[in-house]
Amino acid sequence: MEKDRLSRKLAVILHADVVGSTALVLKNEIVAHERIRETFLKLSDTIEGHNGITREVRGDALVAEFDRASDAVAAAIAFQSFNQEVTTSIEDDIRPLLRIGISLGEVVIADDTVTGAGVIIAQRLEQLAETGGIVVQGSVAETVPERLPFDFQSLGEYKLKGFEQPVRAFTVRSHLGDESSSSASKVPVSADERMEVNPHKKPAIAVLSFVNMSNDPEQEYFGDGIAEEIITQLSKLSALVVIARTSTFIYKGKSVDIRQIGKELEVSHILEGSVRKSGNRVRVTAQLIDSSTGQHMWADRYDRELVDVFEVQDEIMREIVSALDVEILAGEQSRFWSDGTSNLQAWEYYRQARDLSSQFKSEHHPEIIRLLKKALEFDSEYSAAWHLMAGCYFHIEDDIQYSDAVRREAKKLSREYLGKGIECDPTNPDAWSLRAMHYLTDGEFDKAVADTNKAAAMAPNHAIVIASSAAVLTKCGLPELGLQRIRKAMRLCPVLPPWFYVHWGQTCRVLGKIDESIEAYQEMLRQDPDQLEGHLGLAGIFSESRDMKKAKEHADEVLRIDPSFSISRYYSNIAFRDQSIITKFAEALNKAGLPD
């Protein structure tokens, strides 16, 4: 048991400290604590965006871990530039400014906290930094590739308290001038996200649904399941852009030129395949294609026993990673090759439930639950099945068409089943994403932010996880970061599911980007005029803008879709850190003509 909880490793450690935190608190305790908290939340998001993990926040200090020194340095520079701009705009003198130290050393990880010599060295180096500055260990400066735009200036050798050997220290800054701080959105943006604006600066792949070659049309879920498993696993790699299933599966059953798909989804490569299931045998074919030329980069056929289908999935992913020369970082290894289940019956029941769940229809809830219970009978340690069960009950909890008693019971079961899922596999990003939603609805906003950032770090190219994270961040008081996340999710999923529009529109509305918010809701209704959330969003916005004619038109549509709609019931399970936002939204709907 002790061996399971303790992990000793070589890591890059970032230690950040608020300068003069005691003096800030003495000026105004409430304001100072709130601004320090916001500063660390934004630093954590920058760390996550650069492939790091925030291990813990200790009062006025933060400790983070990275696999690569270049990522740690890039994160520190990006945040310090961002924070300087933010604090300059504060009118009073309660400005949380940081010093940052970065080391490379051995650490011990126990119960998700990190200790050891590496942490202490990073802390000592941080104390050498100027306000708003960064000091790194010599080994960190030597590890960063020379091609990167960082200038290191030697401070000489220092005898650090507690260490016999002197440590070489360097200051570091970007040599891109003001370029790193001239962000129009005023949000720290990772290098990966800049590259994703032009996907061809790193490999981008779309995995199409595997064609069902069996005689039984009910086996459609099998080919879909193989493709979705591959998408889910590949989305955990930070060096690869992976388009979401929602966008790639629209080509299912259509004869579309691969080069056209590549242009429409803005990807450099496409994986297509087929599956034929017969008795206890399965034949899977797969081809990786260069979407610009239509030429095959790799192709193979697998004739196996049905129970070996999981090995086939792993082999296909290995071929993709090899063909695209994708680097799997040390911290991504265990998540990427996570086992899931080795029980075919459990997997098949889960895939059928997953297929129904993706349709987002409340009438499917009983059947989804039945199928997942069957899956768990065959494998009680199947984390994905526990998570999907918890997610189904969460949707029931969130659905106002159910009675209050049913929703209360669903809330209890959702949390119980999710706990089992995380216990079975703590590397499942979907589970941490759902736990963040649990914390959000329970009003535990700091825990919600921590878990949603953890999920996004585990699966940096998982569109659903990233979009869910956007919703959490906006409601937890970080709408700028929420907008950054939803825009990233939209790049990963060019064909947006309806709930993406809700979070996009809501985040823009909170930020005062009214035209963009209207655009989001109107686009949602162009796809489906009966989307209640689209009419609600526009009824509220037009009411606040005093365009009461349009506000009433959309309010009437809400009552047409749901004659029993009430504002209080709708907001009964929605939480914002700033409760005045809900009050404002509710008042606007009431003025538009919707009942309390």
Coarse DSSP helix, strand, coil percentages of the chain, rounded to the nearest 5 percent: 55, 15, 25
Q: Among 49-58, 65-74, 130-139, 329-338, whose mean pLDDT is lowest?
A: 329-338
The CA distance from 36 to 51, in Å, is: 23
Looking at residue 6, its pLDDT comes to: 59
Looking at residue 145, its pLDDT comes to: 80
Count of Cβ atoms closer than 10 Å to residue 181 Cβ: 18
Q: Among 108-117, 281-290, 371-380, 429-438, whose mean pLDDT is lowest?
A: 108-117
| Coil/strand/helix, residue 441 | helix
pLDDT greater than 90 at residue 459: no
Q: Is the dihedral of CA 381, 385, 391, 394 positive or negative?
A: negative
Looking at residue 329, its pLDDT comes to: 57
Taking the domains of the chain in order of start, what are their residue ranges?
Answer: 2-187, 197-336, 496-596
- Helix residue ranges, H only, 89-219: 117-126, 138-143, 191-197
Q: How confident is the model at residue 335 (pLDDT cuts 50, 70, 90)?
A: low
- Highest mean predicted confidence (pLDDT) among 50-54, 171-175, 359-363, 474-478: 474-478
| Coil/strand/helix, residue 172 | strand
Q: How confident is the model at residue 111 (pLDDT cuts 50, 70, 90)?
A: low
**In CATH, 197-336 is 3.40.50.10610:** yes
In this structure, are residues 482 and 471 in contact, taking their beta carbons and an 8 Å threshold?
A: yes
**pLDDT tens by residue, 440-456:** 999 999 899 889 988 88
Q: Among 45-54, 98-107, 217-226, 335-344, whose mean pLDDT is lowest?
A: 335-344
**pLDDT tens by residue, 463-476:** 999 999 999 999 99
Write down the CATH number for the domain with range 2-187: 3.30.70.1230
pLDDT greater than 70 at residue 528: yes
Look at phi and psi of residue 51 and say left if phi exceeds 0, alpha if psi is from -120 to 50, else beta. left
**In CATH, 496-596 is 1.25.40.10:** yes
- What is the overall mean pLDDT for the chain? 85
The CA distance from 573 to 404, in Å, is: 11
pLDDT greater than 50 at residue 197: no
In this structure, are residues 307 and 292 in contact, taking their beta carbons and an 8 Å threshold?
A: no
**pLDDT tens by residue, 60-75:** 899 999 988 989 999 9
Looking at residue 331, its pLDDT comes to: 53
Angle at which helices 532-544 and 548-561 pack, to 10 degrees?
160
Task: Please provide the DSSP assignment of 242-282 as one string.
Answer: E--HHHHGGGTT----HHHHHHHHT-SEEEEEEEEEETTEE
| Coil/strand/helix, residue 380 | coil
Q: Give the rounded percent of residues in the chain with a pLDDT score beyond 90.
A: 40
Q: Give the rounded percent of residues in the chain with a pLDDT score beyond 70.
A: 92
The CA distance from 489 to 453, in Å, is: 14
pLDDT greater than 50 at residue 129: yes
Structure-block tokens of residue 500: 């993406």
The CA distance from 267 to 348, in Å, is: 30
For the chain, the distance separating the N- and C-terminal CA atoms, rounded to the nearest angstrom, is: 54
pLDDT greater than 90 at residue 161: no
The CA distance from 94 to 113, in Å, is: 30
Angle at which helices 383-398 and 404-424 pack, to 10 degrees?
160
pLDDT greater than 60 at residue 406: yes
Looking at residue 191, its pLDDT comes to: 38
- Between 3 and 47, name the one with better pLDDT: 47
Structure-block tokens of residue 545: 């803008």
Residue type, 352: Q
pLDDT greater than 80 at residue 2: no
The CA distance from 191 to 532, in Å, is: 37
Q: Are strands 134-137 and 98-110 parallel, antiparallel or unpaired?
A: parallel
pLDDT greater than 60 at residue 351: yes
Residue type, 475: K
Task: Please provide the DSSP assignment of 486-524 as one string.
Answer: HHHHHHH-SS--HHHHHHHHHHHHHTT-HHHHHHHHHHH
- Between 561 and 314, name the one with better pLDDT: 561
Continuous segment of H or E residues that includes residue 13? strand 6-18
Q: Which of 386, 482, 368 is nearest to 434 (CA)?
A: 386
Task: Please provide the DSSP assignment of 294-312 as one string.
Answer: --EEEEEEEEEEGGGHHHH
The CA distance from 41 to 43, in Å, is: 5
Looking at residue 460, its pLDDT comes to: 84
**pLDDT tens by residue, 223-232:** 888 898 889 8
Looking at residue 337, its pLDDT comes to: 52
Average pLDDT over residues 259-278: 89
pLDDT greater than 80 at residue 193: no
- Between 306 and 329, name the one with better pLDDT: 306
Structure-block tokens of residue 99: 């010093």
Structure-block tokens of residue 386: 């526990």
DSSP class of residue 166 equals -
Q: Is the dihedral of CA 163, 164, 165, 171 positive or negative?
A: positive
